Structure 1
Amino acid sequence: MSHQMPEPHGPKPHSARIYDYYLGGKTNYGPDRQVAGQTLGVYPNALTAARENREFMHRAVRYLARERGIRQFLDIGTGIPSAPNLHQVAQREDAACRVVYADNDPIVLTYARALMSGTPEGATDYIEADVRDPGRILEHARRTLDFERPVALSLVALLHFLGDEDDPQGIVRTLMDALPPGSAMVLSHGTDELDIALRKVVDVYQSQGITVQLRGEREIRQLFAGAGLTLIEPGIVATCEWHPEMEDGQDGMRRPAGSISPSEVGCWAAVGTKPGV
């Protein structure tokens, strides 16, 4: 299936392309930049928050590959490719790592070639799909991933784009129920418990038709508990506080410990594992 590139001013703003702007990418359009500009007006830390989300993902993937021996990853809500991508981080740890990406923005598919440039020993694949259809994602992922072996599910900066009516708890449970013991979930999620300015971000996004629902630490904990997962220490913390020692300096800026405060990142982060092995 092929997709034509949209006109520069044509597409409606999309969270993946707004996020790309925050990360300094070029795959965004006027409507995306307009929302990003309005967001920065009410929440100047948006750029820092996006970078810290990305750095958290890198550290979590590295931790799971290095410390837990996981060699398979399912990344939903992939976004516009921004090196290093998840498969590059994982395949630095073991070239045989296998990764499946999923996103619901057709423009991401246009750039998916960057997500397919993995090592010959490993494998990467991409599906255009929405997290609200976990069954379709799982069916496709089985073509590349062995569901008899542990898989790390990555839901980084994704579930806050689902309202309660979308049943994020049920989606997480469906995804994790399909994965074997020893699997893991990597999650970050916007919250107003670290900075109430995030409430104004919700207003900006929702004025453009983008659903955003912030959740608190208790609700994040329930997402893990409801799927039968055990949190890895240090539990639920700000993105900048999750295993900072796992930075390696290759995936972005190396910063002194403590140089970023939780109030600057606006997201809870956690990793949990499925018991049984």
Structure 2
Amino acid sequence: MTEPTKPDELDVSVPHSARVWNYWLGGKDWFAADKAAGDAYCTKYPDMKYMVRESRHFLVRTVTHLARECGMRQFLDVGAGLPTANNTHEIVQRIAPESRVVYVDHDPLVLLHVHAMGDSTLEGAMDYVLADMRDTDLVLDGAAKTLDMSRPIAVVINDVLGHIVDWDEALGLVRRLVARVPSGSYLCLSHSTASDAKHRAVQEEYNNSGAIPYIMREPEVTKAFFEGLDLVEPGFVSWPNWRPDANTGRTTERAGWGGVARIP
């Protein structure tokens, strides 16, 4: 795996969304500003602690399905965020050790942690691309060093598109990626939505705090990411309603929605 470059400067006084989520998920890679922002958010909107877990469990279940039921052996995890437990390569390589996984993120700190969390299985591969996910040429060219771009790839975009404020830009990013992977590939995508007016107000306050903003979008809008694709059952649904298992927990209909779709 490529040796990452250590970031020269890191402003720990400003909360970072990846580190805040890491804190919420019980990780260890956060600073005081991230903890303060995360605690303030959950004090005003306690259901957030359930939502972040539902988002993570959605990733675990969908990636498991892709590896076990769909036979996918190549994964491109776009906007990976800071690793915690049950990361994409760990999940799929437990099922199929020969699986190959590439993580993408624009933050060098994230990719330092991806490098530090351990190597792939001997049979498979794990690497990363340092790139803004909007630069799809850079993302795919980097992924091609590890993945066979002539064979199906599962493109995983879990709850990061809200960081792209412009809707057309977010939609265009997904469509460019879908257009560049082979037929028989899959798109696994989720997006947060506001549960209620109070949630929207707390999120707006967070966005105005100086942290990297996240734009909530309604499922009626975000379903457009799957236009022209073949959604697998149960379709585009709220996170906990996508093939729930014993670890899914309670149902929050408006927490976030997602789905898995085959690319024709």
Q: TM-score, normalised by structure 2?
A: 0.91
SS of residue in 2 equivalent to 1:272:
strand
Partner of 2:252: 262
Partner of 2:262: 273
Partner of 2:204: 203
1:161-207 deviation digits (Å, cap 9, x = unpaired): 11126611100011111101111111111112x43433023213211
1:48 pairs with one of 29, 47, 50? 50
In structure 2, relative to structure 1, the CA distance for the partners of 1:97 and 1:11 (3 Å cut) is farther
Deviates more, 1:151-160 or 1:207-216: 207-216
> Where do residues 1-277 of structure 1 align in structure 2 (5 Å cutoff)?
2-4=5-7, 10-164=12-166, 167-192=169-194, 194-209=195-210, 210-225=212-227, 228-245=228-245, 254-255=246-247, 259-263=249-253, 266-275=255-264
Distance in 2 between residues matched to 1:26 and 1:232, nearest whole Å: 35
SS of residue in 2 equivalent to 1:271:
strand
CA contact (8 A) 2:5 2:108 kept: no
1:58-103 deviation digits (Å, cap 9, x = unpaired): 1101101111111100001111111221001001111000000011
Q: CA RMSD in A?
A: 1.9
Distance in 2 between residues matched to 1:130 and 1:13, nearest whole Å: 19
CA contact (8 A) 1:87 1:115 kept: no
Runs of 5+ in structure 1 lacking a partner? Answer: 246-253
In structure 2, relative to structure 1, the CA distance for the partners of 1:32 and 1:6 (3 Å cut) is farther
Task: Give the number of equivalent residue pairs.
Answer: 260
CA contact (8 A) 1:116 1:125 kept: no
Deviation at 1:23, TM superposition (A): 0.4
Work out the percentage of aligned pairs sharing the same amino acid. Answer: 38
1:28-77 deviation digits (Å, cap 9, x = unpaired): 11221222122112221112111111111111011011111111000011
Opposite residue 198 of structure 1, the aligned amino acid is H
Opposite residue 200 of structure 2, the aligned amino acid is R
Distance in 2 between residues matched to 1:215 and 1:165, nearest whole Å: 9
Opposite residue 79 of structure 1, the aligned amino acid is G
Opposite residue 274 of structure 1, the aligned amino acid is I
SS of residue in 1 equivalent to 2:148:
coil
In structure 2, relative to structure 1, the CA distance for the partners of 1:215 and 1:17 (3 Å cut) is same
1:187-233 deviation digits (Å, cap 9, x = unpaired): 111112x43433023213211232221111221211110xx312111
Q: Runs of at least 4 residues of structure 1 off by over 3 A?
A: 4-7, 194-197
Deviates more, 1:233-242 or 1:160-169: 160-169
Partner of 1:250: none
Distance in 2 between residues matched to 1:201 and 1:5, nearest whole Å: 32
Deviation at 1:4, TM superposition (A): 4.8
CA contact (8 A) 1:72 1:98 kept: yes
Distance in 1 between residues matched to 2:178 and 2:108, nearest whole Å: 26
